[in-house]
């Protein structure tokens, strides 16, 4: 059982928070080296890594992970448990040693204005999701999604 709260736990010093950002259960959120736009709401158990840029008035639901290189435009909805990936060839070790930051190339992900990403979706490296696009819950997005397009499935396919 958790003891009494001693007040909010601050986010890292290198985080830029816009005016009116709401971080639900701040002690359960991990933010470092990122920029969060005004009026954005961040749920508990969310990690947002260095180099991420989140636009204004976004909603990031609980248990989501935004790795370095992810950019969300304004008014993007991210459902519960959404995972963004930036490493196309993940490995723990290389040449008999643990991989260091310089041992891989991060591939950026961009999500356009007003797009929605359903709970449990996985967005793979190098993907662009266009403005007002909708990604269905549980989808695995491995290719670009055009503006306004709706995709779902594993792998994600365009819905008619």
Active-site annotation, residues: 89
Q: Mean pLDDT per segment of 10 residues, for the chain of length 160 residues?
A: 45 91 92 96 96 98 97 98 93 89 88 98 98 98 98 95
In the chain the first and final C-alpha atoms are separated, in Å, by 49
- Model-level pTM? 0.90
pLDDT at 136: 98
pLDDT at 83: 98
pLDDT at 4: 44
pLDDT at 10: 57
Give the integer Cα–Cα distance in Å for 143 and 118: 16
Q: 139: burial class by Cβ within 10 Å (0-12, 13-18, 19+)?
A: buried
Residue ranges and CATH numbers for the domains of the chain are 16-89+106-158 (2.160.10.10)
pLDDT at 50: 95
| Strands across the sheet containing 83-84 | 30-31, 47-48, 65-66, 83-84, 122-123, 140-141
pLDDT at 12: 85
């Amino acid at each position: 059982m958790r003891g009494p709260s001693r007040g909010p736990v601050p986010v890292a010093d290198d985080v830029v928070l816009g005016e009116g950002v709401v971080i639900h259960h701040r002690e359960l959120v991990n933010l470092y080296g990122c920029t969060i736009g005004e009026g954005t709401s961040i749920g508990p158990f969310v990690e947002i890594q260095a180099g991420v840029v989140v636009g204004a008035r976004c909603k990031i639901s609980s248990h989501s992970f935004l790795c370095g290189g992810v950019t969300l435009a304004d008014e993007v909805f991210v459902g519960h448990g959404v995972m963004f990936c930036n490493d196309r060839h993940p490995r723990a070790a290389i040449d008999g040693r643990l991989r260091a930051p310089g041992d891989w190339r991060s591939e950026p992900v961009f999500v356009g204005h007003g797009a929605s990403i359903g709970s449990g979706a996985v967005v793979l490296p190098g993907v662009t999701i266009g403005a007002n696009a909708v990604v269905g819950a549980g989808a695995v997005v491995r290719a670009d999604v055009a503006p306004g397009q709706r995709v779902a499935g594993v792998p994600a396919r365009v819905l008619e």
